[in-house]
Amino acid sequence: MSENTSASEILLTTPLDALHRALGAKMVPFAGYAMPVQYPAGILKEHLHTREAAGLFDVSHMGQAFLMGDNAIEAFEALVPGDYQGLAEGKTRYSVLLNDQGGIMDDLMATRIAGGLYLVVNAACKTQDFAHIEANTRGRAKLEILADRALLALQGPKAGAVLARLAPTTADMTFMTFRKVDIAGIACFTTRSGYTGEDGFEISVPADRAEELAKKLLAEPEVEPIGLGARDSLRLEAGLCLYGHDIDTHTTPIEGDIKWVVNKRRREDKGFPGADFILGQLANGTERLRVGILPDGRAPAREGTEVQDLNGNTIGTVTSGGFGPSVGGPIAMGYVKTAFATEGTPVNLIVRGKALAAKIVKMPFTQKSYKTA
Amino acid sequence: MTVKYTKDHEWISVNGDIATVGITDYALHQLGDLVFVEVPEAGRTVSQGDETAVVESVKAASEVYTPVSGEVTEGNSGIADDPATVSGDPKGNGWFFKIKFSDSSEFDGLMNDAEYKAYVASLD
In this prediction, residue A368 has a pLDDT band, given cuts at 50, 70 and 90, of confident
Q: Are residues A172 and A296 in the same domain?
A: no
Domain at A337, CATH number: 2.40.30.110
Q: Which residues of A touch B82 (CB under 8 A)?
A: none
| Domain boundaries, position A320 | 287-361
Numbered residues of chain A with Cβ closer than 8 Å to any chain B Cβ = 37-38, 42-45, 47, 229-230, 232-233, 298-300, 302, 322-323, 325, 330, 352
Q: Are residues A304 and A200 in the same domain?
A: no
Structural domain count of chain A:
2
Q: Are residues A157 and A49 in the same domain?
A: yes
Which of A202, A237, A272 lies at the terminal end of a domain, its last residue? A237
Q: Are residues A176 and A311 in the same domain?
A: no
Question: DSSP letter string over A184-224?
Answer: TTEEEEEES--SSSBSEEEEEEEGGGHHHHHHHHHTSTTEE
Q: What is the DSSP letter of A114?
A: T
Question: Is residue B17 a contact partner of residue B72, using CB atoms and an 8 Å limit?
Answer: no
Look at residue A9 and tell me if it is in a domain: no
Q: Say which of B36, B38, B54 has its CB closest to residue A323.
A: B36
Look at residue A101 and tell me if it is in a domain: no
Across residues A301-324, what is the average pLDDT? Answer: 98
Q: Which residues of B touch A300 (CB under 8 A)?
A: 35-36, 56, 61
CB count in 10 Å sphere of residue A287? 10
Which of A237, A256, A273 lies at the terminal end of a domain, its last residue? A237
Look at residue A246 and tell me if it is in a domain: no
Look at residue A218 and tell me if it is in a domain: yes
Question: Is residue A316 a contact partner of residue A337, using CB atoms and an 8 Å limit?
Answer: yes
Using only the alpha carbons of chain B, give its radius of gyration.
13
Residue of B nearest to A232 (CA): B59
Q: Are residues A42 and A191 in the same domain?
A: yes
Look at residue A339 and tell me if it is in a domain: yes
Cβ separation of A302 and B61 shorter than 8 Å? yes
Look at residue A268 and tell me if it is in a domain: no
Query: Using one digit for the tens of pLDDT, what is the confidence trace for A142-199?
Result: 999 999 999 999 999 999 999 999 999 999 999 999 999 999 999 999 999 999 999 9
Q: Is B58 on the interface with A (CB under 8 A)?
A: yes
Query: Using one digit for the tens of pLDDT, what is the confidence trace for B18-74?
Result: 999 999 999 999 998 999 999 999 999 999 999 999 999 998 899 999 999 999 999
Cβ separation of A299 and B32 shorter than 8 Å? no
Domain at A211, CATH number: 3.30.1360.120
Q: Which residues of B touch A330 (CB under 8 A)?
A: 36
Q: Are residues A305 and A167 in the same domain?
A: no
Q: Does domain B3-103 have CATH number 2.40.50.100?
A: yes
Cβ separation of B33 and A352 shorter than 8 Å? no
Q: State the best of B58, B64, B79, B82 to mutate against chain A, taking most chain A CBs within 10 Å.
A: B58
Q: What is the mean pLDDT of chain A?
A: 96
Q: Are residues A21 and A154 in the same domain?
A: yes
Residue A323 is inside which H or E element, if any? strand A314-324
Q: Are residues A200 and A327 in the same domain?
A: no
Look at residue A128 and tell me if it is in a domain: no
- Distance between first and last Cα of chain B: 29
